[in-house]
């Protein structure tokens, strides 16, 4: 791999002074979707050595930590979220030694490492599930999962009406060796992902042991997959209606966001805290919890629970100033009520990339809005996650041929936000080459021909490129004491415009499709589009970028100002 060609010198920005209240409160964390980040061995699938070789890019970008998606032994029925051995690395991604090297190198570069933990379900190839299937008809090994007899005269109907998030029933029927149908087992996701029974003490003990394994290897925390799903309502009652996976609309569902999950998170917090480390070295947990509202989400980040929870209400908010302001206010109020910071996110490996989500009038508009949204997010109080490739302005790939798609949701019915391969296409590092520098071979999903022009190589050092916008924003965020954790207030602004104030700092966002004139808020620090300055109001003398006169905020733009 031609590392020198595409990796910048590691930036030497001083670390933020920090609030001393915990590194996670204002950290910028970069999500590495391991399959699609960098491939060191040319098999077309990203791997841990590939990630390690590219870490200087992330240090140079200016993030504080990386989150690695699952790289454990897995049949890959759901991109690795179906784990068969939680303590071993899948040969597709490397070895345990590679994981160890990666963590060490990241730490040398000043980056923390968060790994994914998948506690709601195992793979159907996990030894526990193999043992459960073999323990016929109703043996003790089945109690670690949810096996139930079916309904109907011959047990031919699923035990209840729950639907899988990936479509179809959430139950699959087992078969005896002679082919006779047996009991059913629960899987909220694919049939290859049987749900664990978290009422079973061995399940709880096993996960404490798995967490210890990775903490002892040196990881700085865990992203907890389906953190809202491990506990099911007693008796597993019917729901009585379809469309059960549309969670964000606020329904109470008997398989998500049950109060019992908080006991698990409390016990994990005690474990994380037992590793010490103080505010700068604490081991952390971040919840992937799709829950009804900001108040329910805040329960996951109470002082004795996890440290962060992804703010999916921000992610799903449409491009609308009033709506965004409402989500920001509700999120800040809810997290403040429990003393936590908010964790902003715009994209991840499960949703359509925001450059495409915001592209109502075409890709140019989508990119302009994506750049503006990034500056807004990085100006807000709290922590932020950046999904690989968003710093390049990558759009969703919408025209993948059906035969290359691997998302299990595609094989079943409608998925969470649609099908998820289009946001997982391997990222481009160089202008040319079989996989634009992703690796020495091809790539497991085809990259669009235009992606050479969006590569790291094509954007590095180019003023105004999306990569340089992110680098500049992250460098400023480190330098300006008023950003990150801390207070924020809204300033008066015309309809369609947001203006927020932090100590010594103002951020303006124009969500309209037309320019808006404002009195210059301060000295321009950074802007997603070039600002145009007019003469000072009144005497008409001279343009100003330093706090006098008027500024024309371009359509769909965001700017940062020193005040």
List of residues contacting ligand NOJ (CB under 6 A): 78, 81, 118, 189, 225-226, 288, 349-350
- Six token digits for residue 530: 């070039």
The smaller minimum CB distance to ligand NOJ, of residues 47 and 225, is found at: 225
Helix H segments across 144-298?
201-217, 261-274, 278-281, 294-298
Is the C-alpha dihedral spanning 197, 202, 204, 209 positive or negative? negative
Torsion of CA 5, 6, 9, 12, to 10 degrees: 170
Separation of CA 459 from chain center: 24
Catalytic residue among 26, 124, 195, 288: 288
Structure tokens at 510: 């124009």
Residue 124 known to be catalytic? no
Q: Helix H segments across 258-343?
A: 261-274, 278-281, 294-298, 312-315, 321-337
Q: What residue number has its CB nearest to ligand NOJ?
A: 81
Rounded least distance, CB 19 to ligand NOJ, Å: 30
Cβ at position 387, least distance to ligand NOJ in Å? 11
* Pick from 246, 209, 249, 251: nearest CA to 233: 251
Active-site choice (225, 330, 350, 407): 225
Cβ 229 to ligand NOJ, closest distance in Å? 8
Name the minimum Å distance from CB 69 to ligand NOJ: 8
185 and 149 Cβ atoms separated by less than 8 Å: no
- When the beta carbons of 23 and 81 are compared against ligand NOJ, the nearer one is 81
How far from the centroid of its chain's Cα atoms is residue 386's Cα? 7
Tokens 């801390």 sit at which residue? Answer: 486
Shortest separation between residue 410's beta carbon and ligand NOJ, angstroms: 12
Q: Which is nearer to ligand NOJ, 53 or 85 (CB)?
A: 85
Q: Which is nearer to ligand NOJ, 264 or 282 (CB)?
A: 264
Please say which residue, 81 or 222, places its beta carbon nearer to ligand NOJ: 81
Whether 199 is catalytic: no
- Cβ atoms of 224 and 288 within 8 Å: the answer is yes
Q: Is-cis flag, bond preceding 72, omega within 30?
A: no
Contact call for residues 48 and 102 (beta carbons, < 8 A): yes
Choose between 23 and 222: whose C-beta lies nearer to ligand NOJ: 222
Distance of closest approach, residue 349 Cβ to ligand NOJ, in angstroms: 6
Q: How far is the CB of 297 from ligand NOJ (least distance, A)?
A: 16
- Write out the two tokens for 468: 């340089």
CB 184 within 8 A of CB 158: yes
Residues 25/484, Cβ–Cβ less than 8 Å: yes
Q: d(Cα 322, Cα 386) in Å, to the nearest integer?
A: 24
Nearer to ligand NOJ, 414 or 434 (CB): 414
Catalytically active residues, by annotation: 225, 288
């Amino acid at each position: 791999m031609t590392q020198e060609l595409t990796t910048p010198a590691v930036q030497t920005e001083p670390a933020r002074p920090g609030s001393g209240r915990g590194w996670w409160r204002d950290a910028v964390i970069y999500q590495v979707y391991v399959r699609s980040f960098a491939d060191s061995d040319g098999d077309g699938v990203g791997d841990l050595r590939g990630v390690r070789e590219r870490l200087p890019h992330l240090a140079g970008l200016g993030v504080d930590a990386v989150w690695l998606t699952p790289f454990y032994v897995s049949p890959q029925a759901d991109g690795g979220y179906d784990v068969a051995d939680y303590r071993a690395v899948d040969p597709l991604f490397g070895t345990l030694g590679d994981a160890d090297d990666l963590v060490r190198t990241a730490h040398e570069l000043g980056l923390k490492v968060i790994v994914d933990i998948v506690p709601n379900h195992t793979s159907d190839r996990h030894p526990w599930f193999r043992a459960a299937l073999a323990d016929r008809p109703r043996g003790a090994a089945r109690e670690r999962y949810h096996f139930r007899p079916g309904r109907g005269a011959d047990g031919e109907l699923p035990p209840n009406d729950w639907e899988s998030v990936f479509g179809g029933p959430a139950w699959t029927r087992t078969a005896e060796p002679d082919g006779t149908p047996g009991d059913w087992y629960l899987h909220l996701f694919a049939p290859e992902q049987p749900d664990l029974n978290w009422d079973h003490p061995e399940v709880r003990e096993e996960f404490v042991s798995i967490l210890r394994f990775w903490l002892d290897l040196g990881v700085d925390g865990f992203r907890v997959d389906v953190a809202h799903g491990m506990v099911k309502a007693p008796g597993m009652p019917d729901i009585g209606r379809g469309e059960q996976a549309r969670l964000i609309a606020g329904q109470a569902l008997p398989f998500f966001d049950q109060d019992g999950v908080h006991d698990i998170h409390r016990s994990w917090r005690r474990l994380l805290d037992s590793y010490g480390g103080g505010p700068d070295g604490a081991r952390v947990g971040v919840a992937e919890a799709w829950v009804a509202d900001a108040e329910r989400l805040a329960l996951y980040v109470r002082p004795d629970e996890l440290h962060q929870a992804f703010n999916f209400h921000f992610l799903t908010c449409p491009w609308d100033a009033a709506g965004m302001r409402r989500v920001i206010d509700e999120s800040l109020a809810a997290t403040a009520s429990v003393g936590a910071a908010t964790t902003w996110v715009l994209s991840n490996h499960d949703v359509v990339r925001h450059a495409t989500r915001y592209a109502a009038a075409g890709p140019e508009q989508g990119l302009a809005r994506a750049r503006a949204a990034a500056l807004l997010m990085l100006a807000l109080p709290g922590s932020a996650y950046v999904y690989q490739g968003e710093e390049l302005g990558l759009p969703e790939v919408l025209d993948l041929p059906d035969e290359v798609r691997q998302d299990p949701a595609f094989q079943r019915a409608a998925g969470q936000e649609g099908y998820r391969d289009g946001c997982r296409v391997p990222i481009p590092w160089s202008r040319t080459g079989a996989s634009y520098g992703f690796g020495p071979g091809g790539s497991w999903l085809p990259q669009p021909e235009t992606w050479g022009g969006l590569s790291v190589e094509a954007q590095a050092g180019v003023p105004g490129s999306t990569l340089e916008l992110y680098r500049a924003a992250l460098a400023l965020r480190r330098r300006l004491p008023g950003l990150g954790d801390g207070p924020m207030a809204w300033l008066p602004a015309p309809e369609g415009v947001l203006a927020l104030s932090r100590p010594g700092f103002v951020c303006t966002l124009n969500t309209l499709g037309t320019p808006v004139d404002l009195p210059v808020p301060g000295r321009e620090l950074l802007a997603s589009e070039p600002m145009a300055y007019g003469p000072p109001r009144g005497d008409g003398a001279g343009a100003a970028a330093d706090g006098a006169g008027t500024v024309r905020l371009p359509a769909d733009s965001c700017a940062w100002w020193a005040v």
